[in-house]
Amino acid sequence: MKKPKRGQHAEQPAHIPMKGWWDIAKRIFARMSKDNLSLVSAGVAFYALLAIFPAIAALVSIYAYFASPAEISEHLRQFTTLIPNSSRELILSQISELTQSSQARLTLGALGTLLLTIWSSSKGSQALITACNISYHEYEKRSFLRAQFVRFMFSVGAILVAIFALLIIGILPIVLNLVGLKDSIDLLIKVVSWPILALTFNFALVLLYRYAPHRKAAKWRWITLGSAIATVFWIIASIGFSFYVSRFSSYNETYGSLGGVVIMLMWLYISAYIVTMGAVINAETEQQTAKDSTIGPEKELGERGAYVADHLGIKND
């Protein structure tokens, strides 16, 4: 009797049949436990917490070239809607202190200081790169200098992506005013800021999954599924966690003045877990096919420079 096809010859995720997706789902659940990805996510959350305020300082310093202090505060307030309120206020108070500095200090600060600030935030990028390597069954083989350069560029890239999204939010009122929707600007900005935030997060994940693991890059079609699922899960989880914190939790009563920090750490942990899960989804989906999923000329199994592309997750037909 002929064995059912499970996607071993799939050219893209859409070609994998339901039986193949069942194989993938089982491997994903096994991986999340076996590889201690919950613990890995906790490490990412810790380093992200250390990195978030230097990153905000760098973001405000660069964004000051494009917006006034008041506009910076308002745009970032729109951009942080998914963060639980107590943690959000902690971030916004830091932003307020930064924007109250003189305009000259923000825009004419020494380049070396700005680069040092970005470097301080790059530890969070390094943690994400490590999580992606683990998710894809890879380990860091880059030289020390190259690894430091990659983590620095990821930090710069994250800040630039955030600035681009903020600029879109800033330009929206001008566009709406030009098309005669001045009276509805506030409502429309609140509505539009959500898809902008989702698209920004999804775009950042696509770049992370493509370039963070030390392997031959996968074709885009094998990356977008995990990033899309992770984006949806992240939005739902962030809304759910914010609702839980505001209605049922006792973080502030238990931790006092540290409540906002603890809540932020928990939110970062949830976010890191979902990001890691998205990488695992991509990895296990890619491992379902024997077809070459990497960029460049077609190569045989074992010669592709990527573990999940070189090892089939199931026995071939």
User: Is the model's pLDDT at 155 over the cut of 60?
Assistant: yes
User: Which residues fall within 8 angstroms of residue 129, CB to CB, at 6 or more apart?
Assistant: 140, 150, 151, 154, 212, 213
- Work out the number of other CB atoms within 10 angstroms of the CB of residue 53: 17
Structure tokens of 229?
Answer: 């699922």
Q: Give the pTM.
A: 0.87
What is the mean pLDDT of the segment spanning 72-89?
81
Query: How far apart (Å, rounded) are the C-alpha atoms in residues 76 and 89?
Result: 11
What is the mean pLDDT of the segment spanning 60-88?
80
- Work out the number of other CB atoms within 10 angstroms of the CB of residue 109: 15
Sign of CA dihedral 270, 272, 278, 280: negative
Q: Whose CA is closest to 312, among 6, 17, 12, 36?
A: 6
Better-scored residue on pLDDT, 62 or 303: 303
Highest mean pLDDT among 72-81, 93-102, 301-310 belongs to 301-310
Q: Which residue(s) pair with 218 in the sheet? A: 294
What is the mean pLDDT of the segment spanning 173-178?
64
Query: How far apart (Å, rounded) are the C-alpha atoms in residues 83 and 88?
Result: 6
User: Is the model's pLDDT at 217 over the cut of 90?
Assistant: yes
Query: How far apart (Å, rounded) are the C-alpha atoms in residues 46 and 27?
Result: 27
* Lowest pLDDT segment from 11-15, 120-124, 125-129: 120-124
pLDDT at residue 29 in the model = 93
Helix/strand/coil for 203: helix
Query: How far apart (Å, rounded) are the C-alpha atoms in residues 73 and 93?
Result: 9
Q: Which residue(s) pair with 62 in the sheet? A: none
Whole-number average pLDDT of the chain = 84
Highest mean pLDDT among 83-92, 151-160, 276-285 belongs to 276-285
User: Is the model's pLDDT at 1 over the cut of 50?
Assistant: no
Residue 178: pLDDT band by 50, 70, 90 thresholds?
Answer: low
Structure tokens of 169?
Answer: 């939010």
Better-scored residue on pLDDT, 48 or 277: 277
DSSP string, 210-253: HHSSSSSPBPGGGTHHHHHHHHHHHHHHHHHHHHHHHHT--HHH
Query: How far apart (Å, rounded) are the C-alpha atoms in residues 243 and 68?
Result: 32
Residue 286: pLDDT band by 50, 70, 90 thresholds?
Answer: very high
- Work out the number of other CB atoms within 10 angstroms of the CB of residue 123: 16
pLDDT at residue 221 in the model = 96
* Lowest pLDDT segment from 25-39, 68-82, 298-312: 68-82
User: Is the model's pLDDT at 73 over the cut of 90?
Assistant: no
Query: How far apart (Å, rounded) are the C-alpha atoms in residues 223 and 270?
Result: 21
What is the mean pLDDT of the segment spanning 147-164?
86
User: Is the model's pLDDT at 302 over the cut of 70?
Assistant: yes
pLDDT at residue 285 in the model = 97
What is the mean pLDDT of the segment spanning 50-78?
81
* Lowest pLDDT segment from 94-98, 125-129, 209-213: 94-98
pLDDT at residue 236 in the model = 94
Highest mean pLDDT among 57-66, 150-159, 219-228, 248-257 belongs to 219-228
Q: Where in the chain are the domains?
A: 35-293+303-310
Query: How far apart (Å, rounded) are the C-alpha atoms in residues 5 and 20?
Result: 8
pLDDT at residue 256 in the model = 76
What is the mean pLDDT of the segment spanning 64-77?
79
Query: How far apart (Å, rounded) are the C-alpha atoms in residues 210 and 201?
Result: 14
